[in-house]
Structure 1
Amino acid sequence: MIGLIVALVACIASGLIGFANLLGAIGMFPLPENIQAGVNLALQISVALLIVSLAVAAILNPDSVRRFLTGRQARYGSNSLILTIAFVGILIAVNYIVYKNTDLLGSPYDLTEDKSNTLAKETIQILGELKEPVTATAFYATNSNTTSAEELLEKFENNSDGKFTYKFVNPDLDPVSARAAGVTGDGKIQLQMGETKEIANFATETELARALLRLISPGARAVYFLQGHGEVSLESAELALSVAKSTLEAKNYTVGTLNLLTTREIPEDALAIIVAGPQKPVSADEVELLKEYVDNGGSLVVLEDPLFFTEFGDAEDPLADYLAEEWGITLNKDVIIDGSNPQNPYAAVSLRYNDHPITQGLTDSLIVIMPQARSLTISGEKENVTSTGLISTAENSWSRPNANVSENPNFNSETDTQGPLYMAVAGENSATKGRVVVVGNSLFAIDGNFDVYGNGNFFINSVDWAAEQTDILSLSTRPSTPRTFLPPTENWRFLLLVLAMVIVIPGMVVFFGVSAWFARRKRG
């Protein structure tokens, strides 16, 4: 008797552990290697204990075993066992197919009304044009949520006919791989095809598809940083843009410097000119060259700090004048004070985003922080120009004129302007195809701040848009269908729901079970 009890316990344990092993083997619930080793050992012990217990029971009581194997119970029991195994097998097969979200031929299917789980046809076409295998390496730190990224990468893999694979690397545990890939910060994905590499700044279908297009069709992409006015250095220094430069180079940009005071000419291959934190005004002659460049379809990215923190003094600012006159974008002579950031009120925090390619990927949890920023104003309509405020502060913020910056930072209704305030504006001329991005701060992009929240993403997105790298692909959008379950608010409807789920349905199961038991008892 004891042997059979031990065998029963061992059988149950073997079944449960074996089921867990099966789920792990088919990829539904994979276990870490150290835990998997323990599970395998437990399964081996359970199976061994089951065999030994049955053998002991058979040796000690052979007559009972003989009667059990040849009796009516054995026949009925074997039928029940076969049906149970078949039922469990069907459940496992259905769950596996649903979990993998593919049919038996490996093609993904989507039963949602708006096809929200299906890649856009343009993305599928790009994946179909891959001539060589592409490996995606997603760099996510220990505490990062990788669920959405993994689901997206799996969709790419399922639609690539074996040409797209992916893996995750923790840069905290493997900083060498992150450094070799030129990746700083979290949530970036490197795509590699042969010796060619591209970086996707974040895990969205559009960003990955654009990176794939750049990978398939590599071309010269040159941007230049203006020099000669005390701009932030591109090399290692106390205030430097070396991380921004290396990130651009990891996206296959050629990054150069440009001094218009000496060259008097803008290179023909320049997709964008970046003016990052000048300490002295850009001259009128240089601005005329920049204007001519933009009028011929070029692009400017201007990062100008508050005058209070520069050496401008009372000098004119021809670049700011050009932006106001030609684009309707005014760089105000003030400093933003952010009341939502009491620990550092002079660090402006973005809490509002307008829909624009530059703000893609920015969320409430991926904010942009700009220490010592000035506000911007869109001042009137200009012919053929569309200007869009990109990011702005909260209502609990205000701007203060430079002359009053030294005073108490608390709001002063006589001198200060209440928020929300624009921190960045983008403009596009439909006639000339010229573009400008104007930001009232440069410190957000320096090495120490680049990887803070969404600062780096915002800078790279600004350069990408200015260089027209966001226009290489426009995915067909699908309107999303909101699906919200609203529980009944009336008490009687809620009571009916509870009665049906807790009493009626279980009661029917009990009723039919008892009825079947009485019927079998009457038949003898």
Structure 2
Amino acid sequence: MAAAGRILRDAVKFLAPIGLALIVGAGARFVIQGQLDLIGQGLLAAGAVLVLAYLVAFPSETARVVRARQTRYGSNTAVLIAAVAGILVAANILGTRYHYRWDLTRTGRFTLSEQTRQILGELRAPLKAYAFFTEGSTTEDRVQAEDLLKEYKNASALFDYEFIDPDREPSRAVQYNVRLYGTVVFEYQGRRQETTSVSEQQFTSAILRVVRESPKKVYFLVGHGERDSASFDRPGYSQAKAALEANSMNVATLNLATAQNVPDDADAVVIAGPTRPALPQELDALSRYLARGGGVVVLAEPDTPQPFIDWLRQYGLQVGPGVVVEPGRAYFGDPLTPVVDTYEPGPITRNLGATVFAVATAVTRTAETPTGLVYTDLFKTTDQSWLETDKSVARYDPGVDTKGPLTLAVTVEGKFPGAGDQSGSAQNGRLAVVGDADFAANQWAAAPGNNDLFLRLVSWAAKQQEGEQLVSIPPRPSNEPNLILTSQQQNLVFLSSVVFLPAIVLLLGAIVWYRRR
């Protein structure tokens, strides 16, 4: 009986260490999970009961330990450790509930553009991205895709993503119709949009396309020598077309000589730099389209064929004649290439960057304009400019040439002549005219505001709802800094590192040798 009591007493001595271990386990579970779940509460309660049982079973031992000097010193240490642990736990809780991040990279690699944040902020349902990369892939696209998707998730609680290995889960690849490695599929309310290019521009464009239920349809007029929307040459419009498609717009060509009418699904028609006359029947088709509430964007040139000029004149607009000469704001000193960075206030020009126009003409209002139409000038040249009518010499001739400021772009909105029935039930049409077609060409697409201006003009003509975002995100600059040295700087680096520094070392050595000699 005495032996059994001794065994029981020895066993009770282990209650305190076991209880403390359980309490520590409960604390660790709380730190890891951020909350004390049912299991953690059980561990904490069991640990407290075991420690209390030990204190009741050995009151004299407990009193002796408490009075000991080592206990007092140890209690100070325990309080300090508990305080540090409490600070760490509080920091962990605050870091979990209040998430703040700072991008310290030189190029802002981990900072999303304001356009992307606005689009994500307007989500009304969960949006999920499925990235199909092989597991363990360390390619640049894989790393960049993960970095970007993390930033998208941090920007919106409704966004989530998942990486899928198409080799290990081929059924998932078949489910999402994925054929290429590196494909990212965005799914929103049952609709899907994929992209194989890894960049913020492409990701945000894909999100915009999948979020918008009905994309706009834009037609490029052909048959009169207009700019080719499929051409990658300098005068071509392939980048303009890509920008429209990136903003959830379907692009097609339209030949009115065969179609006879503008299709009913057309939200806007672009006439980009025609060089040959149009037939009267074609211009009548455009007039009927405007009359029923359509949108037309005309990008004219100084040599625009006369039928197009006459067609615009019936709506109160005069294109040319002449070439704009702008010595005050010339692009790299070329007065035939004006730069515009001051705009009239309005939705098209709001926060627009500087735009460059090559060999442009003026767009002015005629003395008499049709009733029911509202005209808005978008931007003008400086008062140092003039409209040169003599192509052989760029010299201002008073009484012959028109003195600036000269209007380069005008928008017209309202019920165009002949619209609808006699009751006036037709919708408002929209017409935008710019005195240059080169600004939207591939050659000038990289200018700060050129691409944006073209997008905004087409978006306005297509009656894209106010507040809908347009995506024009420039690529991130390279993380590798470029050091460009002049010839003088190169000589200085060479002399200082190859000549002067070794010479100083040799001189000091010679001085030390001489003094010790």
Matching residue within 338, 348, 358 for 2:348: 358
Tell me how many residue pairs correspond in the alignment: 340
Q: How does 1:509-524 map to 2 (within 5 A)?
A: none
Q: Following TM superposition, by how much is the alpha carbon of 1:95 offset from its aligned partner in structure 2, in angstroms?
A: 6.0
Report the Cα distance in structure 1 between the residues aligned to 2:458 and 2:210, rounded to whole angstroms: 18
Q: Call closer, same or farther: CA 1:414–1:75 in 2, change over 3 Å.
A: farther
Task: Give the letter for the 1:368 counterpart.
Answer: T
Report the Cα distance in structure 2 between the residues aligned to 1:457 and 1:197, rounded to whole angstroms: 24
In structure 2, the partner of 1:369 is 356
Task: Give the letter for the 1:376 counterpart.
Answer: V
Task: Give the letter for the 2:412 counterpart.
Answer: G
Q: Call closer, same or farther: CA 1:293–1:198 in 2, change over 3 Å.
A: farther
Report the Cα distance in structure 2 between the residues aligned to 1:349 and 1:421, rounded to whole angstroms: 13
Q: How does 1:73-472 map to 2 (within 5 A)?
A: 75-87=75-87, 89-90=89-90, 93-94=93-94, 97-100=97-100, 127-130=123-126, 133-134=128-129, 153=152, 157-158=156-157, 160=158, 162-163=159-160, 195-196=192-193, 214-219=209-214, 221-236=216-231, 237=233, 239-307=235-303, 312=305, 317-326=306-315, 328-338=316-326, 339-341=328-330, 342-360=332-350, 362=352, 366-379=353-366, 382-393=370-381, 395=382, 397-403=384-390, 405-408=391-394, 417-429=402-414, 432-471=427-466
1:109-144 CA-to-partner distances (Å, cap 9, x unmatched) read xxxxxxx9xx99x986x62334x52579xxxxxxxx
TM-score, structure 1 as length reference = 0.53
Report the Cα distance in structure 2 between the residues aligned to 1:135 and 1:416, rounded to whole angstroms: 61
Report the Cα distance in structure 2 between the residues aligned to 1:392 and 1:191, rounded to whole angstroms: 42
In structure 2, the partner of 1:7 is none
In structure 2, the partner of 1:174 is none
Q: Following TM superposition, by how much is the alpha carbon of 1:213 offset from its aligned partner in structure 2, in angstroms?
A: 6.7
Q: Following TM superposition, by how much is the alpha carbon of 1:346 offset from its aligned partner in structure 2, in angstroms?
A: 1.5
Given that residues 445 and 455 in structure 1 are in contact (C-alpha distance below 8 angstroms), is that contact kept between their aligned partners in structure 2?
yes
Q: Following TM superposition, by how much is the alpha carbon of 1:381 offset from its aligned partner in structure 2, in angstroms?
A: 6.0
Report the Cα distance in structure 1 between the residues aligned to 2:405 and 2:129, rounded to whole angstroms: 44
Report the Cα distance in structure 2 between the residues aligned to 1:391 and 1:192, rounded to whole angstroms: 41
Q: Following TM superposition, by how much is the alpha carbon of 1:425 offset from its aligned partner in structure 2, in angstroms?
A: 1.9
Given that residues 276 and 442 in structure 1 are in contact (C-alpha distance below 8 angstroms), is that contact kept between their aligned partners in structure 2?
yes
Given that residues 428 and 436 in structure 1 are in contact (C-alpha distance below 8 angstroms), is that contact kept between their aligned partners in structure 2?
yes
Report the Cα distance in structure 1 between the residues aligned to 2:234 and 2:379, rounded to whole angstroms: 27
In structure 1, the partner of 2:3 is none
Task: Give the letter for the 1:282 counterpart.
Answer: A
Given that residues 224 and 276 in structure 2 are in contact (C-alpha distance below 8 angstroms), is that contact kept between their aligned partners in structure 1?
yes
Aligned with 2:263: secondary structure?
A: coil
Q: Following TM superposition, by how much is the alpha carbon of 1:437 offset from its aligned partner in structure 2, in angstroms?
A: 1.3
Report the Cα distance in structure 2 between the residues aligned to 1:449 and 1:234, rounded to whole angstroms: 15
Task: Give the letter for the 2:236 counterpart.
Answer: A
Report the Cα distance in structure 2 between the residues aligned to 1:422 and 1:386, rounded to whole angstroms: 16
Root-mean-square deviation (Å): 4.7
Aligned with 1:270: secondary structure?
A: coil
Q: Following TM superposition, by how much is the alpha carbon of 1:288 offset from its aligned partner in structure 2, in angstroms?
A: 2.0
Task: Give the letter for the 2:439 counterpart.
Answer: F
1:75-120 CA-to-partner distances (Å, cap 9, x unmatched) read 445434533553465456546644449xxxxxxxxxxxxxx9xx99
Report the Cα distance in structure 1 between the residues aligned to 2:209 and 2:296, rounded to whole angstroms: 22
Given that residues 206 and 246 in structure 2 are in contact (C-alpha distance below 8 angstroms), is that contact kept between their aligned partners in structure 1?
no
| Greater C-alpha Rg | 2
Q: Call closer, same or farther: CA 1:74–1:335 in 2, change over 3 Å.
A: farther
Given that residues 340 and 396 in structure 1 are in contact (C-alpha distance below 8 angstroms), is that contact kept between their aligned partners in structure 2?
no
Q: Following TM superposition, by how much is the alpha carbon of 1:305 offset from its aligned partner in structure 2, in angstroms?
A: 0.8
Aligned with 2:335: secondary structure?
A: coil
Q: Following TM superposition, by how much is the alpha carbon of 1:345 offset from its aligned partner in structure 2, in angstroms?
A: 2.1
Unaligned runs of 5+ in 2: 1-31, 33-68, 102-113, 132-147, 164-179, 416-425, 470-517
Given that residues 392 and 420 in structure 1 are in contact (C-alpha distance below 8 angstroms), is that contact kept between their aligned partners in structure 2?
yes
Task: Give the letter for the 1:386 counterpart.
Answer: V
1:412-435 CA-to-partner distances (Å, cap 9, x unmatched) read 666555544332222211553211
Judge which range, 349-358 or 433-442, deviates more. 349-358
Given that residues 427 and 437 in structure 1 are in contact (C-alpha distance below 8 angstroms), is that contact kept between their aligned partners in structure 2?
yes
Q: Call closer, same or farther: CA 1:417–1:190 in 2, change over 3 Å.
A: farther
TM-score, structure 2 as length reference = 0.54
Q: Following TM superposition, by how much is the alpha carbon of 1:389 offset from its aligned partner in structure 2, in angstroms?
A: 2.2
Report the Cα distance in structure 2 between the residues aligned to 1:378 and 1:408, rounded to whole angstroms: 24
Q: Following TM superposition, by how much is the alpha carbon of 1:290 offset from its aligned partner in structure 2, in angstroms?
A: 1.0
In structure 2, the partner of 1:51 is none
Report the Cα distance in structure 2 between the residues aligned to 1:123 and 1:299, rounded to whole angstroms: 29
Given that residues 229 and 279 in structure 1 are in contact (C-alpha distance below 8 angstroms), is that contact kept between their aligned partners in structure 2?
yes
Q: Call closer, same or farther: CA 1:76–1:271 in 2, change over 3 Å.
A: same
Aligned with 2:334: secondary structure?
A: coil
1:226-283 CA-to-partner distances (Å, cap 9, x unmatched) read 2222212233345221222233344454433223334433223222221110113334
Q: Call closer, same or farther: CA 1:427–1:198 in 2, change over 3 Å.
A: farther
Q: Following TM superposition, by how much is the alpha carbon of 1:164 offset from its aligned partner in structure 2, in angstroms?
A: 7.2
Q: Call closer, same or farther: CA 1:95–1:280 in 2, change over 3 Å.
A: same
Q: Following TM superposition, by how much is the alpha carbon of 1:449 offset from its aligned partner in structure 2, in angstroms?
A: 1.9
Judge which range, 340-349 or 90-99, deviates more. 90-99
Q: Following TM superposition, by how much is the alpha carbon of 1:216 offset from its aligned partner in structure 2, in angstroms?
A: 3.8
Task: Give the letter for the 1:230 counterpart.
Answer: G
Task: Give the letter for the 2:454 counterpart.
Answer: F
1:430-465 CA-to-partner distances (Å, cap 9, x unmatched) read 553211111111111122222332222221222222
Report the Cα distance in structure 2 between the residues aligned to 1:375 and 1:272, rounded to whole angstroms: 23
